[in-house]
Amino acid sequence: MDILHLVDRLETLINKSWRIPFTSNVVIQEETFLEIIDQLRMAIPDEVRRARQLGAERERLIEQAQREADRIIAQAQEQINALIDQQEVVRQAQQKAQALLMEANRSAELIRADADAYVVEVLSNLEEELLRLITTVRNGIHKLERSASHRKEATHPIEVEADAGRPART
């Protein structure tokens, strides 16, 4: 039974009791009064027990909320750490990519320089070969021109004679 209900019953019992004239005293029904007191004695431990239960439940809920808050904080810290680690990984990857890019550019520049040197060497060799071929061709042309010139000189008198009205030699 509820303690407040029992207190209300006591109050009602007093209010309905007979007043002793010219005093603040009242005459109450002893049996009803003692019965309510006994009910109060039985109700108080129930109320105290309920209050203790509510206090224990409150403490349990506070502890549970604290554990949940601690878990959320730990999870948030883990996520922060993961993001920091991820940012560090990204930063390191960017640094490594930059270093690789610089190395690739240096390597490409060396390859270009080597290729240019090779091309210059090949073209120089080709130029020398072409100059030799041109010299050979020119020498051949000169030789043929001299040879043709000698033959012309050797055949030229005959042609002159043929022109003079003489029969040409065959």
Chain Cα centroid distance, residue 73: 23
* Tokens 């999870």 -> residue: 75
Q: Is the dihedral of CA 111, 117, 118, 119 positive or negative?
A: positive
Buried/exposed 55-93: b ≥16 CB within 10 Å, e otherwise:
eeeeeeeeeeeeeeeeeeeeeeeeeeeeeeeeeeeeeee
Average pLDDT over residues 132-136: 92
pLDDT at res. 79: 93
Nearest CA to 39 among 47, 28, 51?
47
pLDDT at res. 137: 92
Q: Are the C-beta atoms of 60 and 68 separated by less than 8 Å?
A: no
| Lowest mean pLDDT across 20-29, 40-49, 58-67, 156-165 | 156-165
CA atoms within 13 A on the CB side of 41: 6
pLDDT digits (tens, 9 = 90+) for 40-93: 888 787 778 888 899 999 999 999 999 999 999 999 999 999 888 888 888 899
Could you give the C-alpha distances from 154 to 108, 149, 157, in angstroms and in order? 67, 9, 7
List the structure tokens of 157: 């008198």
Beta-strand pair 18-19/26-27: antiparallel
What percent of the chain is predicted at pLDDT more than 90?
Answer: 49
